[in-house]
Amino acid sequence: MGNPPADAIELKNKGNEAFKKQDWAGAVAFYTQAIDKFDQEPSFYTNRAQANIKLESYGLAIIDADKAIEIDPNNVKAYYRRASANTAILHHREALRDWKLVVKKAPNDATAKLRMAETDKVVKRDAFLKAIEVEDAPSAAEGLDLEHMAVDPSYDGAKLEKEMTLEFIEDMIQRFKDGKKLARKYVFQIIISVMDLVKKEPTMVEVDVEEGHQITVCGDTHGQFFDLMNIFKLAGNPSEKNSFLFNGDFVDRGSWSCEIALTLYAYKMLYPTKFFLNRGNHETDDMNRMYGFEGECRAKYNDRVFKLFSESFSALPLATLIGGKYFVLHGGLFSDDKVSLDDVRKLDRFKQRQPGQAGLMMEMLWTDPQTEPGRGPSKRGVGLQFGPDITKRFCEDNKLEAIIRSHEVRMEGYEVEHGGRCITVFSAPNYCDSTNNKGAFIKIGPDYKLNFTKFDAVPHPNIKPMAYASNGIQGMI
């Protein structure tokens, strides 16, 4: 096998420097160059795997770990990386198998023992939940007597009657900024009201922008409440003439997911025909269990609040068509060229509450664009990737100007790809307090031109991202 040449080691060291500066993409580029010079050094692959994990390219991290293990079957770091990547994409059984191998090869590694025990618990919990799954489970709202539910005497905020008011939202937002919670009765009331509203909406909501109106399209906000407040400051607060569309991934990772979800839901209640919410891949139970939203709901409110949110997430529309020109969905396009907007319109999103591992719903929530033509395996290990020719064909067949999607960090907050027909917008700046990216949103007026605004992260109280996440995931941040 031999030792790597000096120029390959130098490239690896440059990759390490980029990694220390949190320039994950730069690190991947240097490690790739090192591999091009010498492809038999396992550390080049394990280092690139870790940078890919930071980029959420978990599928690529698994491929790198596989290669390192092929070169050196005793490489403990490679099993570590593969277990971490499989944990992130919820492949817990595969992760458990690798943690067991790590513990066998490094019996004194206390962290690996802890991760193995945590993963074992998750595998058993998932098996238990599957065993007790009921096809037509009663709603979590059943038996809740909101009319006679008392508000805790310690609550000192505005009262919510039957209708949402702007005054209530302003008071609620100030409470959240001050680190206070909402009365549980009002939390239940907001979620149940919005669940009833979105259940009546089609799977693809279709909206036009009238004269004197505009709509702001936002990407992932991921529990970054103080950055959401900055979006409203820059784009203007929601109103009858200032519509918003939040394109999924409101929750998880950031530690103010309850505050974001309640704020967005309250605005949906106030402006039901002017404020829109698409479902993202993080508005799903398995992601919420791992990435923090379930834990946060329990810590701030109770388990029933999470169950109600879960139920409401499964009722959210999957896409929005703006002016017949822009198809907005969280992930991206499909594995089959024959899929059309009509198929999306006809999709019965109530048939399955969770997106599963295949099918239209999964693809709408999980897929990503790639630069190469055609389709390819997903870099994140779930879904697939689609090229510029796929986007062009879909837009032409459906008479669209472009698709707008989110789901991925973009360093400038947005990116226009595929000859202008695929636009990614991401609205969580300095994602997870570590990525140094800008956030962005898109304003669309009656002329249907896209106007982009970029913005930086704003300060927030000293609570780290993933504060409520599963321990196995926390260790990867």
Over range 153-157, report the average pLDDT: 93
Over range 159-165, report the average pLDDT: 95
Catalytic (active-site) positions: 282
Does the pLDDT at position 475 exceed 60?
A: no
CA–CA distance, 335 with 199 (Å, rounded to integer): 27
H helices, E strands: number in the chain: 18, 14
Of 213, 209, 417, the residue nearest 324 (C-alpha): 209
Q: Which residues neighbour 221 within 8 Å (Cβ) at sequence distance 6 or greater?
A: 227, 228, 231, 246, 249, 250, 254, 260, 427, 428
Does the pLDDT at position 352 exceed 90?
A: no
Handedness of CA 380, 386, 387, 391 (dihedral sign): negative
Q: How confident is the model at residue 471, as a pLDDT?
A: 67
CA–CA distance, 282 with 474 (Å, rounded to integer): 16
Q: How confident is the model at residue 415, as a pLDDT?
A: 98
Structure tokens at 32: 């790739």
Does the pLDDT at position 334 exceed 70?
A: yes
Structure tokens at 159: 């009262």
Does the pLDDT at position 184 exceed 80?
A: yes
Does the pLDDT at position 118 exceed 80?
A: yes
Q: How confident is the model at residue 135, as a pLDDT?
A: 67
CA–CA distance, 267 with 169 (Å, rounded to integer): 8
Structure tokens at 124: 């058993």
Of 194, 151, 224, the residue nearest 430 (C-alpha): 224
Region of 322 on the Ramachandran plot (φ > 0 left; ψ -120 to 50 alpha; else beta):
beta
Q: How confident is the model at residue 147, as a pLDDT?
A: 87
Over range 419-431, report the average pLDDT: 98
Q: Which domains does the chain have, with CATH numbers?
A: 6-132 (1.25.40.10), 146-474 (3.60.21.10)
